[in-house]
Structure 1
Amino acid sequence: MTDQAARKALGEVTSDLFKAAMGSVCTPVAVVTVFDGARPHGTTVSAFSSLSLAPPMVLVALDEKSDLLAVLRSSSRFGINILSHAQDDLAGRFATKGGDKFDGVSWMARAGAPHILQSACWFSCEVAQLVPGGDHTIVLGNVLETDYDDHAPLTYYRRSFGTHSVLHEQAS
């Protein structure tokens, strides 16, 4: 049986089914940032992962229609800000199009990228490669600088924001 025949026999994976299944995966909420000239620019993503230890690399996936991706294609540096549990308002702000998303946001230029302060962790990266991936582009980044604070990360699960909690051993 061919792969296509097997998929037909099992049923088509629709966009709605795929989104529902992926909603069951808890992901960190990150804001990818770049400079557009001197102006900071950012967008919220949920597709972020470590990639390599030697050399240190991460990856993010950006929608092909993303304004940030258009800027990133002509830039070599970008930042990844893993938001803390107290920054859920920023997740929504940076998920929208237009406007100056950085108005009222505490940030600083650091290692060639905008760093949102009070993030759980932060990475400054150099673009290593842009890889097509369906309706997204996967950005592979070499990590140039990183830092973290002792803040619980903001997570996204079943279309809601939350945070990580440590499971405690049950008393026997």
Structure 2
Amino acid sequence: MTPQAFRDAMSTVVSPVAVATAMDGSRPHGTTVSAFVSLSLTPPMVLVSLANGSRLLAVIRRTGRLGLNILGAHQADLAIAFARSGPDKFDGVTWLPSQDRPRLPGSAAWIAAEAGDYVTAGDHTVLLAHVLTAEPGEGDPVSPSPLTYHQRSFGTHTPLAY
């Protein structure tokens, strides 16, 4: 199997899109992630995958704190901005501190979590995190759908009538 074949196969999977965030002193850090899921209800936990060389992962390892801003369909611009490399991802982005984590207003949902276990898996680290707070966000009343990633592009979910 080639890496391209694997990428092509995985592009058929619809993934939710979130911006994972953490504070490094007074400086916010964040990155777009599509590899996160609800892991456990008792206790409440999520799983997030971050690149081993990620600045955000280094900050989370130091602080033990992270936030997940689950994006709405109207926030594709934030997904793109936080997917790029560089330290200036928050330039021009409105955010507010929430439980010492950067929160992006207008997101579909907000999760504040504490780092649990770290599992190295290939070129990524899987973080098992304990959820402290989970809240639906204010979202976009016109387009309340979540932002998703499928076939290498952003989209949203449309319920089927049946």
Q: Which residue of 2 aligns with 1:164?
A: 157
| Cα shift readout 1:71-115 (whole Å, capped 9, x = no counterpart) | 111111100111110110111110111142112222111112111
Asked if 1:133 is matched to 2:121, the reply is yes
Distance between the aligned counterparts of 1:164 and 1:34, measured in 2?
A: 28
Question: How far, CA to CA, are the matches of 1:54 and 1:14 in structure 2?
Answer: 39
Q: What's 2:86 paired with? A: 98
Q: Which amino acid aligns with 2:127?
A: V
The match for 1:148 among 114, 130, 136 is: 136
Structure whose alpha-carbon radius of gyration is higher? 1
Q: What do residues 43-74 of structure 1 show as CA deviations (whole Å, max 9, x unaligned)? A: 01110000000000001100112111111111
Whether the 8 Å contact between 1:61 and 1:139 is mirrored in structure 2 is: yes
Matches within 5 A, 1:6-155: 13-149=1-137, 151-155=144-148
* Distance in structure 2 (CA, Å) of the matches to 1:17 and 1:37: 41
Which amino acid in 1 is paired with 2:15? Answer: T
TM value normalised by structure 2: 0.93
Letter in 1 for 2:105: L
Secondary structure class of the residue paired with 1:68:
helix
Q: Aligned letter for 1:158?
A: Q
Query: 1:36 and 1:141 mapped to 2: Cα distance?
Result: 18
Structure 1 runs (4+) greater than 2 angstroms displaced: none
RMSD: 1.0
Q: 2 CA distance for matches of 1:73 and 1:91?
A: 23
**Percent identity, aligned pairs only?**
52
State the distance in 2 between where 1:164 and 1:103 align.
29
1:101 maps to a residue whose letter is K
Q: Which amino acid aligns with 1:80?
A: L
TM-score if structure 1 supplies the norm length? Answer: 0.88
**Runs of 5+ unmatched residues, structure 2:** none
Tell me the number of residue pairs that the alignment of Structure 1 and Structure 2 aligns: 157
